[in-house]
């Protein structure tokens, strides 16, 4: 009564793929939620420092 190694290999490969996918998804969600809060806290400062926000809106050319 021997075990077929191919079956164990298939299950191990599927488990490794699922574990890698779960880890990547967890990291992406963590950075996404954390980044959302960081951007919300700093967006006003970034827009205030940008040169386009200080320029006259009528003087800015449209490049369409």
pLDDT tens digits, residue range 33-54? Answer: 888 888 888 888 877 777 665 5
3-state secondary structure of 3: coil
**Residue 16: CA count within 13 A, CB half-sphere:** 6
Q: How far apart are CA 54 and CA 60, in angstroms?
A: 11
CB proximity list for 53: less than 8 A, separation 6 or greater: 47
At 58 the pLDDT is 60
Q: How far apart are CA 54 and CA 47, in angstroms?
A: 9
- Mean predicted lDDT score pLDDT of the chain: 81
CB proximity list for 47: less than 8 A, separation 6 or greater: 53
pTM: 0.53
Arithmetic mean of pLDDT, 18-24: 97
């Amino acid at each position: 009564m021997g075990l077929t190694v191919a079956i164990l290999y298939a299950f191990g490969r599927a488990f490794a793929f699922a574990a890698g996918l779960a880890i990547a998804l967890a990291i992406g969600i963590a950075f996404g939620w954390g980044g959302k809060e960081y951007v919300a806290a700093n967006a006003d400062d970034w827009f205030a420092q940008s040169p386009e926000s200080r320029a006259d809106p009528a003087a800015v050319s449209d490049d369409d």
